[in-house]
Amino acid sequence: MPHLPPDADRRGYLLEDYRLFHLRESRAQTFGYHYHDFHKVVVFLSGQVTYTVEGRAYFLTPGDLLLVPHHHIHQPDIGQATYERFILWLTPAFLAGYGLEDCFVRTEETGFHLIRPAHPGELVTLLQRMEEAERDDGFAGELLGRTLCLQFLIALNRAGLDNQASDSRGVYASDGKIQQVMAYINAHLCDPLSVEQLAAAFYLSPSWLMHRFKAVTGCSVHQYVVQKRLIAASESIRSGTGVMKAAREAGFGDYSAFLRAFRAAYHTAPRTLTEGGKGRKEG
């Protein structure tokens, strides 16, 4: 991807309403920065992992639930201990159809992605039963799995309403000023967003902003802006907007620059966005 960290790309394709993974890693590794066109729930079971989402690093403990809304840039950093987790992918339309998107809406509004439930075992048990249902070829096995998924999502939303993790020490690390800059970028993608212009808007030194943004988020200001504009344009194209209009509305003043950035990011032309594909291993 042009001007982006090597793995800061779109990962995974979700052609169903949801998909459940139960994964284990026995070696330390760092996944690249990436995003999805769907929502993701990470249920941390064991190991050592720090998850960075939109510039905020979360230090997970067993039983934690991490919510990653679609198009939020994130990266797990996995330690030496065996890392076990459930990961649930969910389409926004599926959640909205049942009125179960509140937890992700709240996450986007607050910028806080962690839920530390009082009784995590109940949520884990629902996922274990859901996993068993996916292997059940008996009567209404698929319906049983969907029912368990809905039960989990109801419990997840209830846990989110009771969540007190944001008041706990040692849960996350972030830089308040950089969070403000990131929020401004996301709200003003059509505006000029150079380092100098952002620094002036926040009364910061351009040099300080450039170096601090990179240290907090893992990518430069320009990388982040291009990534977010590509995401916005891609979503518009998928919803039926013409390519040129989508590029312009996402903040690309030069259409040829958009095409170059898009082809480098997705290795294809914008018109192919609606075509499906296979998922990739997840953090």
For 166-210, give the secondary structure using H, E and C.
HHCCCCEECCHHHHHHHHHHHHCCCCCCCHHHHHHHCCCCHHHHH
> Same domain, yes or no, for 179 and 115?
no
**Which amino acid is it at 264?**
A
> Same domain, yes or no, for 255 and 142?
no
Residue 281 falls inside a structural domain: no
The pLDDT value recorded for residue 26 is 80
pLDDT digits (tens, 9 = 90+) for 172-201: 767 888 889 988 998 999 999 999 999 999
Q: Residues 87, 42: contact at Cβ < 8 Å?
A: yes
- The answer to whether the Cα torsion of 68, 71, 77, 82 is positive or negative is positive
Mean pLDDT of the residues in the chain: 85
CA-based R_g, the chain, Å? 19
Q: Give backbone dihedrals phi and psi of 35, rounded to 5 degrees, phi first.
A: -145, 170
DSSP state letters, 7-47: T-EE-----SSEEEEEEEE-S-EEPPPEE-SSEEEEEEEES
Q: Residues 12, 38: contact at Cβ < 8 Å?
A: yes
Q: Residues 161, 112: contact at Cβ < 8 Å?
A: no
Q: Within 13 Å and on the Cβ side, how many CA atoms surround 104? A: 24
Burial bucket for residue 155 (CB in 10 Å: 0-12, 13-18, 19+): middle
Tokens of 10: 């779109």
The pLDDT value recorded for residue 1 is 30
Tokens of 11: 């990962």
CA triplet 161, 60, 31: central angle to 5 degrees?
120
Tokens of 282: 């997840």
pLDDT digits (tens, 9 = 90+) for 98-157: 999 999 999 998 889 999 998 999 999 999 999 999 998 889 889 999 999 999 999 999
> Same domain, yes or no, for 101 and 231?
no
Whether pLDDT at 277 is above 70: no
The pLDDT-based confidence of 274 (bands split at 50, 70, 90) is low
* Whether the predicted model's global pTM rises above the 0.85 cut: no
Work out how many domains the chain is built from and give that number.
2
Question: 151, 167, 183: which is the final residue of a domain?
Answer: 167
> Same domain, yes or no, for 33 and 156?
yes
Beta-carbon contacts of residue 108 (< 8 Å; ≥ 6 apart): 69, 72
> Same domain, yes or no, for 189 and 101?
no
CA neighbor of 145 nearest in space, from 282, 278, 20: 20
> Same domain, yes or no, for 127 and 208?
no
> Same domain, yes or no, for 266 and 208?
yes
Question: 139, 167, 195: which is the final residue of a domain?
Answer: 167
Residues spanned by the domain of 145: 9-167
Question: 119, 136, 167: which is the final residue of a domain?
Answer: 167
Tell me the β-bridge partners of 49.
Answer: 78
